[in-house]
Amino acid sequence: MATLTGQQIADAGLAGWVNLGGCLHTRVRTGDFAAGLALVVQIGAEAEQRDHHPDVDLRYGHVDVTVVSHDAGGVTQRDVDLARRIGELAAQRGHTLHGTEVTRLDIALDTPDRTEVAPFWRAVLAYEDRPGFDDEVRDPAGALPPVWFQESGDAEPRQRWHFDVWLDPEQVQPRIDAALAAGGQVVDDDAAPRFWVLADPEGNRVCLCTWQDRG
Per-residue pLDDT tens for 8-34? 999 999 999 999 999 999 999 999 999
Measured CA angle at 19 (ends 17, 25), to 5 deg? 50
Write down the pLDDT at residue 133.
Answer: 80
What pLDDT is recorded for position 1? 79
Mean pLDDT of 163-186: 96
Name which of 35, 5, 39, 37 is nearest 22 in CA terms.
5
Please check the confidence at residue 157 and state whether its pLDDT lies above 70.
no
Mean pLDDT value of segment 36-42: 98
Query: Greater confidence, 159 or 161?
Result: 161
| Residue 131 identity | P
Residues 18, 22, 24: CA angle, nearest 5 degrees: 35
The 3-state secondary structure of 157-188, one letter per residue: CCCCEEEEEECCHHHHHHHHHHHHHCCCEEEE
What pLDDT, on the 0 to 100 scale, is given for residue 172? 97
Q: Say yes or no to pLDDT of 165 above 90.
A: yes
Q: What is the pLDDT of residues 120-133, one digit of tens each?
A: 999 999 999 988 78
Q: Answer whether residue 134 shows pLDDT above 90.
A: no
- pLDDT tens digits, one per residue of 180-191: 999 999 999 999
Alpha-carbon distance 174 to 200, whole Å? 16
C-alpha pair distances (Å), 179 with each of 83, 98, 186, 206, 208: 32, 22, 9, 11, 11
3-state secondary structure of 156: coil
> Cα–chain-centroid distance for residue 182?
24
* CA distances (Å), origin 137, targets 22, 94, 127: 16, 39, 6
119 has pLDDT over 90: yes
31 Rama sector, left if φ>0, alpha if ψ -120 to 50, beta otherwise: left
Could you tell me the pLDDT band of residue 7, with boundaries at 50, 70 and 90? very high
Q: What is the mean pLDDT of residues 39-44?
A: 98
Give me the pLDDT at residue 132, please. 77
| Rounded distance between C-alpha atoms, residue 148 and residue 125, angstroms | 13
Q: Which residue did the predictor score with more confidence, 154 or 110?
A: 110
Three-class secondary structure of residue 89 per DSSP: helix
Mean pLDDT of 163-188: 96
Is residue 158's pLDDT more than 80?
Answer: no
